[in-house]
């Protein structure tokens, strides 16, 4: 079969959507299928990067279109970058798509599936929406006024039409499946925990499929603090490290973390907070930590995939944050890397939400309400003072990754879905 992927970032970019897409594209190419990727010439962490406009990488044909490069820091600049990608990628897709192709559209930029659905219909191809986040609901929840009112109604109508026209809509979680089902005018029946795509396909007639994102248990392994050279390189030997690794976007809340860091700076000098990554909030968070005089907070850039075992292993415990109003619209992929690294997770958000329930049900960490800095301090203090509890939670986290969220499992589910089409 011939599969065309559509997303703004691809290998060698390090962002989460790029890594997931790269894994799947290379896997399908390795399985003997013809794979094309339509993407931009940029990198998430470097808008000025210049990548080749056309190349073949590990059997995948990559087309990189030219777009504006105004960056993510300002909403207007981001909107213009989106718009130029819509036009350039849509034109390229029109030129290369043909009857019988499967077009897989991710959700970066938002609503790219609307363009993909039109071209798929015109060319006789089949569309798969790979839903990483649900737009415009995310924008509305974040208070973006330009997308409120009639504009949101129009965008939602176009998005829903693209959902309904698709051969399949692949979502990351059961709650997201409910959101997409309502958008399609369907009812979604929750799958038993750990159910694979193949079992879902036998039991459901819906075109909505839950295939979670993943991490590679062979590429990311638990490593002891004493054996981790990054601890020495970053001056963290003998410290208890609380790590946030990944995108620092608007969907994530950081005031609770900084408030907890400020409290612990006075009572627990051995605890350090480490932020690894980038995003729209990286600079404001860094500036806020500096203004507060938080010497116990450090920042490092995105790390190459080859160093994820070490960078994730620096943390004794990891933080995952999601604004409560975004539950069901986003599922943070950073959780899977934490599971692979065998570390406990403390979630900051809705304690009754899907992520909090998963963490507490599986015994892999704790959940605190957004804004509850005292609760976060208590959770971290408990983990810092109880190495046995950390080991138990970390061991279970690794087991859960291998049982349910490993790359091999996801690749098989994706292959079954696409071959069924």
pLDDT digits (tens, 9 = 90+) for 164-179: 999 999 999 999 999 9
Alpha carbon distance 249, 275 (integer Å): 13
Domain layout of the chain by residue ranges:
2-214+406-420, 225-405
Distance set, CA 313 to CA 150, 340, 411 (Å): 47, 10, 25
**Is 267 in contact with 295 (CB distance < 8 Å)?**
no
Mean pLDDT of the chain: 92
- Strand 60-65 to strand 54-57: parallel, antiparallel, or no bridges (unpaired)? antiparallel
Helix axes 255-267, 373-384, angle to 10 degrees: 50
Could you report the per-residue pLDDT of 22-81, keeping only the tens digit for each? 999 999 999 999 999 999 998 887 777 889 999 999 999 999 999 887 766 666 667 788
Q: State residue 143's pLDDT score.
A: 85
371-399: average pLDDT: 98
Homologous superfamily, domain 2-214+406-420: Glycogen Phosphorylase B; (3.40.50.2000)
299-319: average pLDDT: 95
Alpha carbon distance 297, 227 (integer Å): 23
Alpha carbon distance 188, 37 (integer Å): 30
Query: Residue 187: is its pLDDT beyond 70?
Result: no
Q: State residue 205's pLDDT score.
A: 43
Could you report the per-residue pLDDT of 270-296, keeping only the tens digit for each? 999 999 999 889 999 999 999 999 999
Compare 395 and 185 and report the one with higher pLDDT: 395
What's the distance, Cα to Cα, between the start and end of the chain in Å? 10
Handedness of CA 390, 328, 285, 301 (dihedral sign): positive
- pLDDT band for position 382 (cuts 50, 70, 90): very high
133-146: average pLDDT: 86
Homologous superfamily, domain 225-405: Glycogen Phosphorylase B; (3.40.50.2000)
Topology alike, domains 2-214+406-420 and 225-405: yes
Alpha carbon distance 31, 25 (integer Å): 10
**DSSP letter assigned to residue 403:** I
Nearest to 220 by CA among 8, 1, 23, 12: 23
């Amino acid at each position: 079969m011939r599969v065309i992927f559509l997303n703004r970032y691809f290998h060698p970019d390090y962002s989460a959507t790029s890594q997931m897409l790269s894994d799947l594209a290379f896997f399908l190419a390795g399985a003997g299928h013809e794979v094309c990727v339509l993407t931009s010439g940029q990198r998430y962490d470097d808008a000025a990067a210049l990548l080749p406009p056309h190349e073949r990488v590990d059997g995948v044909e990559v087309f990189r279109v030219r777009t504006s490069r105004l960056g993510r820091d300002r909403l207007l600049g981001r909107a213009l970058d989106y718009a130029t990608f819509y036009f350039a990628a849509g034109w390229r897709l029109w030129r290369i798509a043909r009857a019988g192709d499967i077009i897989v559209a991710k959700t970066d930029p938002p609503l790219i599936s609307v363009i993909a659905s039109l071209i798929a219909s015109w060319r006789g191809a089949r569309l798969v929406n790979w839903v990483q986040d649900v737009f415009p609901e995310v924008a509305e929840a974040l208070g973006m006024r330009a997308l409120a009112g009639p504009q949101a109604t129009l965008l939602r109508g176009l998005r829903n039409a693209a959902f309904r026209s698709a051969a399949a809509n692949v979502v990351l979680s059961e709650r997201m499946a409910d959101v997409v089902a309502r958008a399609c005018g369907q009812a979604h029946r929750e799958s038993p925990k750990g159910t694979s795509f193949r079992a879902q396909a036998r039991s459901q007639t819906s075109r909505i499929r839950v295939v979670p994102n993943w991490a590679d248990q062979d590429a990311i392994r638990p490593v002891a603090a004493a054996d981790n050279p990054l601890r020495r390189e970053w001056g963290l030997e003998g410290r208890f490290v609380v790590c946030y690794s990944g995108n620092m976007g608007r969907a994530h809340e950081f005031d609770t973390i900084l408030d907890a860091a400020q409290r612990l700076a006075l009572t627990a000098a051995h605890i350090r907070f480490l932020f690894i990554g980038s995003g729209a909030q990286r600079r404001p968070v860094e500036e806020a930590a500096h203004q507060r005089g938080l010497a116990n907070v450090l920042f490092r850039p995105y790390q190459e995939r080859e160093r994820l075992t070490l960078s994730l292993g620096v943390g004794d415990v990891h933080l995952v944050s999601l604004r409560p109003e975004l539950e069901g619209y986003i599922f943070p992929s950073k959780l899977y890397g934490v599971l692979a690294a065998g570390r406990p997770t403390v979630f900051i958000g809705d304690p009754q939400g899907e992520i909090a329930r998963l963490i507490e049900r599986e015994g892999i960490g704790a959940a605190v309400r957004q804004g509850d800095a005292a609760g976060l301090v208590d959770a971290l203090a408990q983990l810092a003072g109880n190495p046995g509890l950390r080991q138990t939670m970390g061991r279970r986290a690794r087991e859960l990754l291998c049982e349910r969220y490993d790359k091999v499992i996801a690749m098989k589910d994706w292959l079954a879905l696409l071959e069924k089409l």
